[in-house]
């Protein structure tokens, strides 16, 4: 997700500094004229710092760790740090004070729309934090997304994103099984989707069949891509369970979907690869 989003920012004319653990990604951006940073600390003099990380531990390390952003912000500089991955509100509060102490501002700006949305610059971006900070980063956000929503105070956008992930992850896996069921019994998805879309089975994958197949094909384009996706969705549902627990809620279906994903086998990837083929 991060690389195509960064390409959109560069294409929009912004001066781009890239920091990534993958040397191949850094080499690609270096050829485009972007500045390559060795550590997160080296990004501290940017005006807008966009973070897209895999988990809460990485977020804490990149922001306030020994080589974190807080150690690279020059005196008198006040960057806006935008947390665009999915994390918990408590984690944002944990890093907020050190960032403020270093002169930075913090917003949460999680995204939805997948790799195709990142490539096309059509992501949905949920925004939480001070309005002045959101106004500051809005031009950069518009380079990456077309649907920007102000959710409330810091952490509010992450709550919306966690809930969105709960719904979308369950839909992704159940819709794939539904397509298998209909096509095994002679009903083509392309002919069935218009019926679903004026019925109660309508969802984000049925509303655009070519895009649905593109999504499944992207998610399962290689074994490593599918494994990476599984790791992300498992993490997202773990965050949902943690948020539910801290809210005093027991959500049984969420627990069952999580168990299903923990035991996913190769047949699921095979199914998604089939659905990703153009018909």
Q: How many Å separate Cα 228 from the centre of its chain?
A: 13
For residue 111, what is the enclosing H or E element?
strand 111-112
Q: Which of 10, 11, 41, 161 is catalytic?
A: 161
Q: How many CB atoms lie within 10 A of CB 129?
A: 27
Nearest to 179 by CA among 155, 201, 154: 201
| Distance in angstroms (rounded) separating the CA atoms of residues 61 and 40 | 9
- Can 161 be counted among the known catalytic residues? yes
Nearest to 111 by CA among 81, 87, 139: 87
SS3 58: helix
**Active site amino acids:** 161
């Amino acid at each position: 997700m991060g690389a195509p989003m960064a390409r959109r920012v560069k294409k929009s004319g912004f001066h781009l500094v890239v920091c990534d653990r993958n040397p191949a990604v850094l080499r690609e951006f270096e050829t485009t004229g972007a500045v390559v940073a060795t550590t997160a600390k080296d990004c501290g003099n940017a005006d807008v710092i966009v973070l897209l990380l895999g988990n809460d531990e990485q977020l804490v390390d990149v922001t306030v760790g020994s080589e974190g952003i807080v150690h690279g912000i020059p005196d008198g500089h006040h960057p806006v740090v935008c947390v665009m991955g999915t994390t918990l509100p408590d984690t944002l509060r944990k890093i907020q004070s050190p960032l403020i102490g270093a002169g930075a501002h913090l917003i949460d700006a999680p995204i939805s729309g997948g790799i195709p949305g990142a490539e096309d610059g059509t992501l949905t971006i949920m925004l939480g934090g001070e309005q002045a900070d959101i106004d500051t980063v809005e031009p950069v956000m518009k380079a990456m997304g077309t649907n920007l929503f102000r959710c409330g105070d810091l952490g509010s956008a992450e709550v919306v994103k966690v809930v969105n992930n709960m719904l979308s992850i369950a839909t992704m896996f159940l819709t794939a099984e539904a397509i298998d069921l209909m096509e095994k019994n002679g009903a083509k998805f392309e002919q069935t989707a218009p019926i679903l879309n004026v019925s109660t089975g309508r969802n984000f994958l049925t509303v655009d069949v070519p895009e649905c197949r593109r999504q499944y094909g992207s998610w399962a384009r290689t074994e490593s891509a599918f494994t990476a996706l599984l790791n992300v969705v498992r993490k997202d549902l773990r965050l949902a369970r943690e948020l539910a627990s801290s809210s005093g809620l027991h959500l049984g279906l969420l627990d069952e979907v999580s168990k299903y994903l923990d035991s996913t086998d190769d047949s699921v990837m095979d199914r998604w690869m089939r659905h990703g083929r153009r018909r």
